[in-house]
Amino acid sequence: NVSSKDNLHNLTCEAENQAGPGERMVQLDIEFPVRIIFLNNAVPQHHWCFPFAVDGNPEPNITWLYNGTKLNETRYIYTQPIVDSGDGSEKHGCLFLDKPTHVNNGNYTLIVENKLGRDEATAHGYFMDNPFDNSDGIIPSCPLNTEWRSTCHFICCSHSCPVYVAVGLGVFACKLLLIMVLVVYKCGHHSKFGIHRSSVLGKEDDLAVSLRFMNFGTSPPSSDEDSGLSSFVENPQYFCVQHIKRQDIVLKWELGEGAFGKVYLAECANLSPDNDKMLVAIKTLKDANESTRQDFQREAELLTVLQHQHIVRFYGVCTDGEPLAMVFEYMRHGDLNRFLRAHGPDAHILDESKMPPLGELTLPQMLHIAAQIASGMVYLASLHFVHRDLATRNCLVGEGLVVKIGDFGMSRDIYSTDYYRVGGRTMLPIRWMPPESIMYRKFTTESDIWSFGVVLWEIFTYGKQPWYQLSNSEVGCSGKKHYKIAASPSSLYDVYGILSLSHKYL
């Protein structure tokens, strides 16, 4: 008399005669209906995980439902069995979710079945609050009266409906007048963010925004000089920031977090006439105070004018509600620094297995990467822009080894050791800065050329940290000692000559 508990156990038959003993062992294969031993709610591990265990013979098929609908597994949502669990026929595993967001909140149902039976269980996953939740809206001050419900969707009390209608007509007239004014003065002198134009360029000692208008080699403008900026004629195209409706954005999962706020992968509709939806990167603003709004506006207006094949494309902003958000082109392979490390000689020990298989980068490929970054920087210099934070962490890699310059404001969190804190909140990318920028806060096209030389060294060392043998404070002192960056064994002689030339004092 055997049961499911005896499945996969060994049965030994022993016999003996005058010639000697003998034995033969077989493994029991007992078929029984499948059952779910447990299914727990989602827990944060390296990824979010729904732990489960099932038992059954024949081995059951596993499917998942999300809020009652079949869940299609992808590289970001997948079932992973735990091998060698040592529990006989029991199968342990996890439904993993890689960086889920509020759109993944809900009920997850595990369904298992074999030819002898079927079982199911449900668990709940709550991963994060909805960052676009507008639940704090206006609550009607009187109960709904169906007799007075108008086709204009006003909620009226029977005794005050005429007042609401009058107020509504007045509001409609004001809105119509406002729309006419906006049409006449579209992209004109007034800010779309409710901030005075005089604050667009801001102070140069704030590193919250990487792309800045170059001050033609002079020192940063003082508050007195700022007043003179209004005498410049504004380029109307420069200040035309495209506004994207919040209902056109569907967040998928979080990509990272930095100085401004969190960055999400999302789907966005109505961006291109050729595609109904396209993947984008959404950079949100976590603090909506006046200072951060100014930085947000300044960066949006600066990014709008940048149109180049090697600059990450900026689509526009979403300002109807909180948080404020910027919409960027999505680059599938992420930042260049991780890409270099994942395709270098030490990739097998750096836990970068998520990157697509490409093998170790060759010298022609590295030169191709460097040429694309140089092309983008030449374009920025032609517009009198200074990047001030050029590094491989701020370059992104797309399909076909396409590299583009960008700054999503997230690198200060992911690569915190690359920045040196000065004073209270100022973070300096000191390993990429020339001596005059370290000592005098002077940023020009020439300082970007210095940074490009460091980027070349990063590329040909597969993403190593510049001056890794020195601490940040020692690098800060190197401006006076003139430490020379070491040549990479993999770099060509001519490339190292360009790198050295970029660090030569003129």
- In a 13 Å sphere around the CA of 362, the CA atoms on its Cβ side amount to 3
Tell me if 333 is assigned to a ligand binding site. Answer: yes
* The pair of three-digit structure tokens given for residue 213, joined into one six-digit string: 């208008």
181: CB partners within 8 A, 6+ apart: none
For residues 339 and 368, the answer to whether their CB atoms sit within 8 Å is no
For residues 256 and 263, the answer to whether their CB atoms sit within 8 Å is yes
Tell me if 262 is assigned to a ligand binding site. Answer: yes
Tell me if 335 is assigned to a ligand binding site. Answer: yes
The CA–CA distances, whole Å, from 471 to 262, 475, 476, 482 equal 29, 6, 9, 15
Tell me if 255 is assigned to a ligand binding site. Answer: yes
Q: Is 287 considered catalytic here?
A: no
Q: How far apart are CA 327 and CA 505, in angstroms?
A: 39
Q: With the CA atoms of 143, 146, 152 and 153 taken in that order, what torsion angle do they form, in degrees rounded to the nearest 10?
A: 50
Q: How far apart are CA 366 and CA 494, in angstroms?
A: 14
Tell me if 258 is assigned to a ligand binding site. Answer: yes
* The pair of three-digit structure tokens given for residue 404, joined into one six-digit string: 């583009």
Tell me if 35 is assigned to a ligand binding site. Answer: no
Tell me if 453 is assigned to a ligand binding site. Answer: no
Tell me if 330 is assigned to a ligand binding site. Answer: yes
Tell me if 92 is assigned to a ligand binding site. Answer: no
Tell me if 260 is assigned to a ligand binding site. Answer: yes
Tell me if 234 is assigned to a ligand binding site. Answer: no
103 in helix, strand or coil? helix
Q: Residue 255 — φ and ψ, nearest 5°?
A: -100, -30
Tell me if 341 is assigned to a ligand binding site. Answer: no
Question: One-letter amino acid identity for 157?
Answer: C
Tell me if 394 is assigned to a ligand binding site. Answer: yes
Catalytic residue among 389, 413, 448, 494: 389
Tell me if 259 is assigned to a ligand binding site. Answer: yes
Tell me if 275 is assigned to a ligand binding site. Answer: no
Tell me if 126 is assigned to a ligand binding site. Answer: no
- DSSP symbols for 356-385: PP--SPPHHHHHHHHHHHHHHHHHHHHTTE
420: CB partners within 8 A, 6+ apart: 427, 428, 429, 430, 472, 473, 475, 476
Residues tagged in the binding site annotation for ATP: 255-263, 283, 329-335, 393
User: Which residues are known to be catalytic?
Assistant: 389
* Annotated binding-site positions for Mg(2+): 394, 407
State the binding site: 255-263, 283, 329-335, 393-394, 407
